[in-house]
Structure 1
Amino acid sequence: MIILNSNKRATGVTFDISGVASVVLWAPRAKRVELLIPGKDKTISLIGKELGYWTAETRDLQSGDLYFFELDGRRQLPDPASLSQPDDVHGASQALDLSSFEWKDDGWQQYPLKDYIIYEIHIGTFTPEGTFAAAIEKLDYLVDLGITAVEIMPVAQFPGNRNWGYDGVYPFCVQHSYGGAEGLQSLVNACHSKGLAVILDVVYNHVGPEGNHLEAFGPYFTEKYHTPWGNAINFDDAWCDGVRRFFIENALMWFRDFHIDALRMDAVHAIKDFNPIHILQEMRQNVDLLMQQTGRRHYLIVELDLNDPRFINPINKAGYGMDAQWIDEFHHALRVASGQERTGYYSDFDGVRSLAKSYQDAYVYDGAFSEHRKKFFGMKTENAGEQFVVFSQNHDHVGNRMLGERTSELVSFEMQKLLAGAVLVSPYLPMLFMGEEYGEKSPFLYFVSHTDPELAEEVRKGRQKEFEAFHMEGEAPDPESEETFYRSKLQWESIEREPHRTMLNYYKELISIRKSQPPLRIPNRREVSVEHNTESKVIVLRRRHGTHEVVCLMNFSSREQSVEMPADASHWYKLLGSSDLKWGGSQEMPGQVSSGSALVLSPESITLYTNQYE
């Protein structure tokens, strides 16, 4: 097992307090390595060490200087562990001293994971300016909304200025056009000052195609396995230890040098590792050591498409020790329950029946036969509710639609309110996608800015092929077009108009109720019961904490439906009715109802009652 010195990054260029640069490069196949500083006309020879590492210490390289590595006298290449690429992915690396940033978050207290209410943003489209500095100006808005954690889509340097972030090619480098390393540090500092945790989306399952020079330095990839993006990262083949160390160092850097609170690791089911100690477990163990040294708590959250609780089980129970995972199946079930099409992988889901199962069991497929996959899939999980992240939309399920339509363009105003409520009353961690809280109408499209014409054309063709399984007609918007990118930016002026203002206030009220009602605030799966009716398309979800209970009545049908109130409370008191007039509805739900009485639910509505009036 690899245990790293968590006090300091041990790859790339770092500086000590006297200004001496320490240079570490992993290049196991090289015979000679030199560091070139073009601005000073300096060449520094590195010394070969064991296990393929090359090192040097010098005062010639200073923070702000541009530099290249040259291997065996051949072409000059940027640093694989570059912290800054001011001249894009093919240009020189820039040395930075990350320790020079003045942090002001000593008083920051990380939230327990159960208190996370997550808001996912893409820096480039979150504001007109598309920078970290501009995002800081929106933090008060998020606090007022009730958000406790901001999730930032990947910021590792990618080619050009337009990208979702999953084509990053320098894992240690913060996108220059967003504001670079200092810009991200400033954003985290500002978030902590306002009581917001920060989750950073990172990609450890592949590296983007343009500007990816890793293979020139060493066997970062293996032909043993393939992913949707090409050869897999080498986590278990020959020379894998240097690769594993590289990515563990990366995770530690975000926590230590950028004060990130949690990492969301993209599609970990695409990480191939048959070592006795999985790379995720090794990351967990190194992060645990860092936390012991710093006293700060950090979470590891994974996107996972395997319905395998081994990933989120603790290490002492033969798991990998991840703190939480996204569950797409909740989203799929919710989407089908709302009446949207059942094409592609959505064909496996059966509306309210699947949604009710996800409320109860987290995974919809926990050993059942999946017709879409043509196999029995998944296994049961007893993990705590706080280990699952749910949503009605996210960057994938909006942006991977051919036209990038948000839910606000696909369902009615009333159904949008129901979907929001369905997420926020769940016994899991809720996540919002930027703009959904006010019914943003602009699409979130797939966009890139590759400079290689052949690669750009491959991306266009790939997008068209992707939608064949969904039987989509027409052509996808050009991912390379600037217009595609600008169309995807949030239209903040919308919140001053109806019905967006009402929707925003509705979300605020929902979030406030979740925070103030213990049965909703505490994601305890053991005190959840759920009933559903496939004919009426009604779900009755009951959440309890001790004697305190909240009952959530959801009508996914387009007609009024009658339900009987639970009989184990003398009276039920309304917390919220999405059909109420104040939320743009047409039917005021009663403020108090008796035990066992019949209640008529408005079409496409959610109503919340509690047995304790406070």
Structure 2
Amino acid sequence: MSTPPRRALATDLDGTLIPLDGNAQNQRDLRALGERLKSGGVGLVFVTGRHFSSVQQAMGEHHLPTPEAIICDVGTSVFEGGGDGRFQPVQAYAQHLGEIIAPMPIGELRSRLESIEGLRAQEDEKQGPFKLSYYADADALPGLAERVQRLLDQWDAPYSLIHSVDPFNNDGLLDLLPRGVSKAHALDWWVERCGWDNRDVVFCGDSGNDLAALTAGYNAVVVGNASRKLARQVYDAHRDAGWRNRLCLPNAAATSGVLAGAGWFGLVAFEQTPPEPMGATPVSASKTHFRVWAPKCKSVSVEIGEPGDAVRHELTPGEDGCFAGFASAAPGDKYSYLLEGPIARPDPVSRRQPDGVHGPSEVVDPNAFPWTDAEWRGVAKRDLVIYELHIGSFTEEGTFRAAIERLPELVELGATAVEVMPVAQSPGKWNWGYDGVNLYAVTHNYGTPDDFRTLVDACHAAGLAVLLDVVYNHLGPEGNYLGEFGPYFSRKHHTPWGSAVNYDGRRSDPVRRWVVENALYWLRDLHLDGLRLDAVHFMHDDSEHTILDEIRAATLEFEQRSGRAIHLIGESNVYDERLLASVGGLKGYDAIWSDCLMHSIYTHASPDFKLTNREYHGTHNLLEAMEHGYLYESSQYVRVAREALGGDLPDRSYIGSLVTALQTHDAVGNHPEGKRLHQLASKDYQRSAAAIMLLYPSIPLLFMGEESAVEAPFPFFADFHDRGLRRAVDRGRIAEYPHHDWSNAPLPSERKSFRISKCADPKLQDPQMRAWYQQLLTLRRHGLAAGWLTPDAMRCEHDTESHVFKLHYSNADGGVTVLARLTPNDHDAQPIEIELPGEVLMSSLETEVNGGQAVLRPNQAVVVGPPAG
């Protein structure tokens, strides 16, 4: 045996190294791969289920490069090349297998299996001295495999069974191999014989019988045509083993994927063109390209590694204010930028901050996750039922992965979309998320970027869209180092939370690109289905083509390219028809937030329930909010000037583009103690109000825990490293709402504020409230499908004396009517008798019906449909 090369490519053949039929790129890449392996002195090993003669046939037919060794017959044969193109069996391996099956030779096993109906022996050339192979009907394969395995266990036979369906002809295949023997077993034996380290070997595969080798500790490549289920299995195994940078998931199929994987792990050389994206872009398992926009600096270096053991690399300046260059850095490595001195700063487009806002950034490979949602096309706007949640509070663990366990609850409830409160890296250990400073970095408090991807992938598998709350009007006060790099902040605009982002000042174009690319980052790299833009009225921009327009154009282009529904939602305190209108041929934002109906419901219960700085006057506003979605005029604020609309209100079809809610993070969190509606009013009041909200023709949003009247509050909480900031936030919160009693309220900076917000404990939940919400959402789906739940079909009424609010939807069957009696807290109300316009479909409380009359209790809702028959 000649001395083997120290590095080697081990690869499956069918579906992996062998070009796919008709794929010209595969053919070209096969030639390039052979040439580069040879010039680089890299060894080649075939690892295949084919028998030896079939391998030789494939080598000639497909012009495969000559390997040093051939592992075939599903790992039961090893052949070694002699340098002259001839291959000889490796007798030491045959002796090894013979020792395994000595208690029951292959002939005896064949005899014992002859009587099993449905097993058909494969051709003689596909059998071997250590392998039995059978065909079976694909439909019967699982049952046959189970029966054979039971017999093997009964006989204590020294054999393993593997079975699969041939993807090319749909034949069921069963192979019996010496116990523990597989392609992986044979490769392990060969690697040990050659004296290689596992990290010197790259294994490429595409099917289930490659799984063991792909998870054996080698550098692994799962080619793009492999099932995503296999890719996920391999990914999970590497993750569980704690291996870093041993897996490559190229998009390219078969041969092209092998070439890409060999290049990623450095087996073959590629000419590397500098990538365009800002930030740290890995180009191989050991090399990364860095690009940063820093027009305020004369020089920028990147420092890679842990403090005290870091390597510094000077970046090359460009004419556009950017500094860039390649450096030795792998995914998972930490890095910081040095701006004309010894002070290290995080990357403005950091994808991860493992040590928080003040620490170094981390190189992240955006292509290393095995998505399984290729068929996902999103949720249509009309079907949106949004469930808003805070990752840290939604489960006891407070992580992305823990949230997956609760997804079935949301599906059963009737939600169709999850809206996640901001997850951009913010200071401290607990935060609502609106103090984010690293807009591209998923906060380390909830997990890694891939953990977030896992949650998104799981949501899509469950039929749930995922929306993300993003903040583009300001950045948080701590860890905000962007001003040291360039003019990220405006000199003429301000927000209540600090400096506004520079969208229209000097050198604002790169800042605009930074934000637009961030929006695309969430949609493209994390597969999100939409964004809710926080407080868009503070995204100050005097440009003719505003940043809101630019985000709209970029996301629309992405939506058309991706083929899935993407939703843009703007949070505006005023009805802004410009957001919903088409601009320059581009469709408007899908929706805008409207909390007028919610605050009217709160202040109808009691004027003390004032949870916003805007004025609302309960009953006076509630009917108008029902009628129009927004309040158009009020005593202190003008939402929309009637003069601007020619004195008339617009057509009500826009109501379908409003996001309305009974509770939101702000409505609950603006109360000093974070009390929910049922705690301020009553559960009956919430049930009755929910009937209006969930059967209203807008886009409904539920805040986590609302559906089960959870007793866990949701006060405002924010953690900072800086003690002065903590004190300032505590004082500022009290000053913002001076009319509230703060004597029993936990301070935002106290850990208690975060801990008491956990809402997953079933003991804190009301199953009857949840059942009512499920009923309402079921009827909502029916109304949408039947076509009666629309703004045009809606009529609103109110009886002042009884406090009965009515939503009536007319249709060919006579219509559906929601009767919601909302009794203010200070009223000593009694049951009343009302005339029913039809049969009771559902009721929030037990209903007494006598003929066409019904008794309506205080805070009771009844939904009435056409008379039976």
CA distance in structure 2 between the partners assigned to 1:548 and 1:74 by the alignment: 76
3-state DSSP class of the match of 1:405?
Answer: coil
Q: Which residue of 1 is the match for residue 776 of structure 2?
A: 510
Whether 1:560 and 2:828 are equivalent positions in the alignment is no
Cα deviation per residue 1:284-330 (whole Å; 9 max; x = unaligned)?
1011111222212211111110222112212247x882110110111
3-state DSSP class of the match of 2:815?
Answer: strand
CA distance in structure 1 between the partners assigned to 2:500 and 2:660 by the alignment: 28
1:446 to 699, 712, 716: 716
Whether 1:386 and 2:641 are equivalent positions in the alignment is no
CA distance in structure 2 between the partners assigned to 1:588 and 1:95 by the alignment: 65
**Cα 1:406–1:375 shift into 2, 3 Å:** closer
Post-superposition shift, 1:180? 1.9
Whether 1:186 and 2:454 are equivalent positions in the alignment is yes
Whether 1:397 and 2:670 are equivalent positions in the alignment is no
Post-superposition shift, 1:535? 2.8
Post-superposition shift, 1:136? 0.5
Q: Which residue of 2 is the match for residue 325 of structure 1?
A: 592
Post-superposition shift, 1:478? 1.7
Determine if contact 1:464/1:476 at 8 Å carries over to the other structure: no
**Cα 1:413–1:294 shift into 2, 3 Å:** closer
Supply the AA of the counterpart residue of 2:635: E
CA distance in structure 2 between the partners assigned to 1:82 and 1:158 by the alignment: 13
CA distance in structure 1 between the partners assigned to 2:787 and 2:358 by the alignment: 48
Whether 1:335 and 2:608 are equivalent positions in the alignment is no
CA distance in structure 1 between the partners assigned to 2:771 and 2:820 by the alignment: 20
CA distance in structure 1 between the partners assigned to 2:584 and 2:605 by the alignment: 40
Supply the AA of the counterpart residue of 2:601: L
3-state DSSP class of the match of 2:431?
Answer: coil
**Cα 1:71–1:478 shift into 2, 3 Å:** same
Q: Which residue of 1 is the match for residue 856 of structure 2?
A: 601
CA distance in structure 1 between the partners assigned to 2:321 and 2:867 by the alignment: 65
Whether 1:363 and 2:630 are equivalent positions in the alignment is yes
The TM-score with structure 2 as length reference comes to: 0.64
Determine if contact 2:284/2:330 at 8 Å carries over to the other structure: no
1:562-577 equivalences under 5 Å are 562-566=833-837, 572-577=838-843
**Cα 1:106–1:345 shift into 2, 3 Å:** closer
**How many residue pairs end up in the alignment?**
582
3-state DSSP class of the match of 2:468?
Answer: strand
CA distance in structure 2 between the partners assigned to 1:376 and 1:531 by the alignment: 23
**Cα 1:340–1:559 shift into 2, 3 Å:** farther
Determine if contact 1:527/1:543 at 8 Å carries over to the other structure: yes
Q: Which residue of 2 is the match for residue 100 of structure 1?
A: 368
1:307-326 equivalences under 5 Å are 307-316=575-584, 321-326=588-593
Root-mean-square deviation (CA, aligned residues, Å) is: 2.4
The TM-score with structure 1 as length reference comes to: 0.90
CA distance in structure 2 between the partners assigned to 1:203 and 1:448 by the alignment: 16
Determine if contact 1:353/1:532 at 8 Å carries over to the other structure: no
Q: Which residue of 2 is the match for residue 211 of structure 1?
A: 479
3-state DSSP class of the match of 1:490?
Answer: coil
Determine if contact 1:145/1:508 at 8 Å carries over to the other structure: yes
Determine if contact 2:611/2:671 at 8 Å carries over to the other structure: no
Post-superposition shift, 1:532? 1.3
Gaps of 5+ in 1: 1-7, 567-571, 581-586
Q: Which residue of 1 is the match for residue 790 of structure 2?
A: 524
Q: Which residue of 2 is the match for residue 3 of structure 1?
A: none
Q: Which residue of 2 is the match for residue 141 of structure 1?
A: 409
Higher alpha-carbon Rg: 2
1:116 to 384, 402, 405: 384
Determine if contact 1:577/1:608 at 8 Å carries over to the other structure: yes
1:14 to 265, 281, 301: 281
CA distance in structure 1 between the partners assigned to 2:802 and 2:782 by the alignment: 31
Post-superposition shift, 1:344? 7.2
Post-superposition shift, 1:510? 1.4
**Cα 1:612–1:535 shift into 2, 3 Å:** closer
Whether 1:255 and 2:523 are equivalent positions in the alignment is yes
Supply the AA of the counterpart residue of 1:479: P
3-state DSSP class of the match of 1:243?
Answer: helix
3-state DSSP class of the match of 2:296?
Answer: coil
3-state DSSP class of the match of 2:863?
Answer: strand
Whether 1:533 and 2:799 are equivalent positions in the alignment is yes
2:294 to 24, 27, 31: 27
CA distance in structure 1 between the partners assigned to 2:515 and 2:743 by the alignment: 40
Gaps of 5+ in 2: 1-274, 824-828
Whether 1:162 and 2:412 are equivalent positions in the alignment is no
CA distance in structure 2 between the partners assigned to 1:518 and 1:147 by the alignment: 14
Worse-superposed segment, 527-536 or 11-20: 11-20
Supply the AA of the counterpart residue of 1:105: D
**Cα 1:588–1:105 shift into 2, 3 Å:** farther
CA distance in structure 2 between the partners assigned to 1:544 and 1:518 by the alignment: 13
Post-superposition shift, 1:334? 1.6
Determine if contact 1:425/1:520 at 8 Å carries over to the other structure: no
CA distance in structure 2 between the partners assigned to 1:328 and 1:599 by the alignment: 32
**Cα 1:573–1:9 shift into 2, 3 Å:** farther
Cα deviation per residue 1:368-406 (whole Å; 9 max; x = unaligned)?
3x3233897576443533311111111101111111111
Determine if contact 2:711/2:764 at 8 Å carries over to the other structure: no
Q: Considering Cα pairs closer than 8 Å and 6+ residues apart, tell me whether 1 or 2 has the greater RCO.
A: 1
**Cα 1:269–1:562 shift into 2, 3 Å:** farther
Determine if contact 1:281/1:320 at 8 Å carries over to the other structure: no
CA distance in structure 1 between the partners assigned to 2:276 and 2:379 by the alignment: 26
CA distance in structure 1 between the partners assigned to 2:613 and 2:356 by the alignment: 39
Q: Which residue of 1 is the match for residue 757 of structure 2?
A: 488
Supply the AA of the counterpart residue of 1:399: G
Supply the AA of the counterpart residue of 2:574: L
Q: Which residue of 2 is the match for residue 265 of structure 1?
A: 533
**Cα 1:24–1:543 shift into 2, 3 Å:** farther
Determine if contact 1:553/1:606 at 8 Å carries over to the other structure: yes
Determine if contact 1:268/1:304 at 8 Å carries over to the other structure: yes
**Cα 1:305–1:160 shift into 2, 3 Å:** same
Supply the AA of the counterpart residue of 1:504: R
Cα deviation per residue 1:488-541 (whole Å; 9 max; x = unaligned)?
111522267xxx121111111111111123388765211111111223212121
CA distance in structure 2 between the partners assigned to 1:377 and 1:346 by the alignment: 20
**Cα 1:105–1:320 shift into 2, 3 Å:** closer
Q: Which residue of 1 is the match for residue 730 of structure 2?
A: 460
CA distance in structure 2 between the partners assigned to 1:375 and 1:387 by the alignment: 16
Q: Which residue of 1 is the match for residue 442 of structure 2?
A: 174
Determine if contact 1:278/1:320 at 8 Å carries over to the other structure: no
Post-superposition shift, 1:610? 1.5
Cα deviation per residue 1:42-97 (whole Å; 9 max; x = unaligned)?
32222222332222234x12111100111223521110111111111111100000
CA distance in structure 1 between the partners assigned to 2:705 and 2:611 by the alignment: 26
3-state DSSP class of the match of 2:797?
Answer: strand
Q: Which residue of 2 is the match for residue 281 of structure 1?
A: 549
Cα deviation per residue 1:563-601 (whole Å; 9 max; x = unaligned)?
4445xxxxx222111122xxxxxx4456xx6xxx55442
Determine if contact 2:574/2:640 at 8 Å carries over to the other structure: no
**Cα 1:20–1:347 shift into 2, 3 Å:** closer
Supply the AA of the counterpart residue of 1:25: V
1:235-250 equivalences under 5 Å are 235-250=503-518
3-state DSSP class of the match of 1:393?
Answer: coil
CA distance in structure 2 between the partners assigned to 1:150 and 1:181 by the alignment: 17
CA distance in structure 2 between the partners assigned to 1:54 and 1:152 by the alignment: 34
Determine if contact 1:555/1:603 at 8 Å carries over to the other structure: yes
Whether 1:153 and 2:428 are equivalent positions in the alignment is no
3-state DSSP class of the match of 1:517?
Answer: helix
Post-superposition shift, 1:560? 2.8
Determine if contact 1:10/1:249 at 8 Å carries over to the other structure: no
CA distance in structure 2 between the partners assigned to 1:604 and 1:49 by the alignment: 67
CA distance in structure 2 between the partners assigned to 1:159 and 1:520 by the alignment: 48
Supply the AA of the counterpart residue of 1:403: E
3-state DSSP class of the match of 2:280?
Answer: strand
